[in-house]
Structure 1
Amino acid sequence: MLPGAEPYLHDGSDTAVLLVHGFTSTPQSLRPWGEYLADRGYTVRVPRLPGHGTTWQEMNRTRWEDWYAEADRAFRELHERSERVFVGGLSMGGALALALAQEHGPRVTGLVLVNPAVKFDDWRVRLLPVLKHAVGSLEAIGNDIKKEGVTELAYSRTPLRAGHSQLVAWRNVIRDLPQVTQPVLLLHSLQDHVVPASSSELVLARISSEDSTEILLHDSYHVATLDNDAPRIFDESATFIERLS
């Protein structure tokens, strides 16, 4: 395991928060957020998804089902011990959070989504079914951060077999968005070089939540939880959790 990629766990109150990191990333991208919520007294879990935090070659041997299974395991553990469970996610972690809400319904108290990824506009996406057999990886998508001196612990290459699995899974997540009825707080960056704004727009347009809030982040790129707007993400998520608790 890469140093710094370890899962983060904190036992606190009977209000729990599960935070899910993004594609090719690690719990490091969410650790400051998790520590902030832990300091507020909440129980927090930030799991390391299979194939992440080691090598991109290993990640190419994992699929969406593996990542979802780990997020689901962490959610079930929290649900067993907590009165209420919130799920937050960055990028692909947002898609996994939506999938958890679709499966578990009211057992998910609320969702906090940061630059959720359920679609890409990159034309190369259409070539992935072929490219994944021709080349193992492409250039990295991680570390899209505006703040100077901050680095995301993510792979230097994007594994294509794993990436194609994510795209296939998004079809079901998008199809089932109307099943999401939980309160939703969605924060997305005005400048994001990885996930288009249309991804957040699609989520907000298709979910059935009567309680949904959109917040625009003006001073961050994709990995906003490590960027200039991170304090606002932390504060807004805590206010959201407090209100619903």
Structure 2
Amino acid sequence: MELIDACSRLLSHGGRTPRAVLLLHGYTLGPDQYDDLARDYFERGYNVWVPRAPHEVTVSSLTAYASEALDTVAGLGDEVTVVGISGGAVLATWLAQTRGDAVRHLLLLSPFFGPAQVPAWAVRPLTFLYGRGLLPDRITSRGYSLAAVTRYLTIVHRLPDPPRWTRLRSIAVAISETDGVVDPVAAVTVPRRIAEACGIRLLTWTLPSSLGVGHDTLALTGSEAAGLRKRYIELSEGRP
């Protein structure tokens, strides 16, 4: 493993490989969120790039970061998989729709396409008001800045509508039954529409409450953790 800029992770086999994966971490977390899954991908022959998101959370900084990360991973392997969790899943989806020339497989973990327990009709107005600074920023009990969160939702609202056909070969979603952060309907509806546009099947997996996993579906512990990560990789490869 090689550390880049003290935080980003590059796991390289020393040359271009048949497959490479880009792992985009969630808001408030960092590349270390992927340490175990990154190692698993590497052991399966992937070159792995886990970049650190910008500290300044704006729409332009987030999309530039994601696009530059994709350029990097496209040079590491012939076939590119993109995995994102929470806000990182928003950026992964944005890449799959705007950079469809490069992304072949997409795995979305706990995708934040809308907040839980907020009426759908209220999401756009709140996104506008907090995103433009018309309402003073507020920090939630989870430590989330509402202004920052709405920047991710702005990217969601800027996804092509209707979704574009791309050369995507597989798309999968994994969410937790006990996730209290994301809208579970939007988490599946957005990628399903993309799958339909691309003429492929959406794979979905709901982690049961018995696993004790909440919004962070990478926070896996115990004897089942390795098997669950293997399932993620299988989903990302389009294997139901």
Give the equivalent residue in structure 2 for 1:82.
Answer: 77
Contact 1:118/1:173, CA 8 A, preserved across alignment: no
Q: How far apart, CA to CA, are the structure 2 residues paired with 1:243 and 1:173?
A: 23
Q: How far apart, CA to CA, are the structure 1 residues paired with 2:146 and 2:237?
A: 40
**Alignment of 1:166 onto 2:152:** yes
1:20-99 maps to which residues of 2 (within 5 A)? Answer: 20-51=24-55, 59=56, 62-99=57-94
Q: How many residues align?
A: 216
Three-state SS of the structure 2 residue aligned to 1:177 is coil
Which of residues 212, 218, 233 is equivalent to 1:225? Answer: 218
Which of residues 180, 183, 197 is equivalent to 1:193? Answer: 180
Give the equivalent residue in structure 2 for 1:237.
Answer: 232
Inter-CA distance 10–176: structure 2 relative to 1 (3 Å threshold)? farther
Inter-CA distance 204–162: structure 2 relative to 1 (3 Å threshold)? closer
Give the equivalent residue in structure 1 for 2:3.
Answer: none
Could you give the per-residue CA deviations for residues 126-172 of structure 1, whole angstroms, max 9, x where no partner exists?
4454454553331243xxxxxxxxxxxxxxx3223322222222111
Q: How far apart, CA to CA, are the structure 1 residues paired with 2:151 and 2:127?
A: 10
Q: How far apart, CA to CA, are the structure 2 residues paired with 1:233 and 1:68?
A: 29
Q: How far apart, CA to CA, are the structure 1 residues paired with 2:69 and 2:50?
A: 9
Q: How far apart, CA to CA, are the structure 1 residues paired with 2:104 and 2:127?
A: 36
**Alignment of 1:10 onto 2:3:** no
- Normalising by structure 1, report the TM-score: 0.77
Give the equivalent residue in structure 2 for 1:149.
Answer: none
Which of residues 83, 102, 107 is equivalent to 2:97? Answer: 102
Give the equivalent residue in structure 2 for 1:113.
Answer: 108
Moved more, 201-210 or 110-119: 201-210
Q: Report deviation, 1:227.
A: 2.8
Moved more, 117-126 or 100-109: 117-126
Amino acid at match of 1:116: P
Identity %: 24
Inter-CA distance 128–243: structure 2 relative to 1 (3 Å threshold)? closer
* Unaligned residue ranges in structure 1 (runs of 5+): 52-58, 142-156
Higher helix share: 1
Inter-CA distance 10–68: structure 2 relative to 1 (3 Å threshold)? same
- Normalising by structure 2, report the TM-score: 0.78
Q: How far apart, CA to CA, are the structure 2 residues paired with 1:241 and 1:201?
A: 15
Contact 2:172/2:238, CA 8 A, preserved across alignment: no
Inter-CA distance 179–64: structure 2 relative to 1 (3 Å threshold)? farther
* Unaligned residue ranges in structure 2 (runs of 5+): 1-5
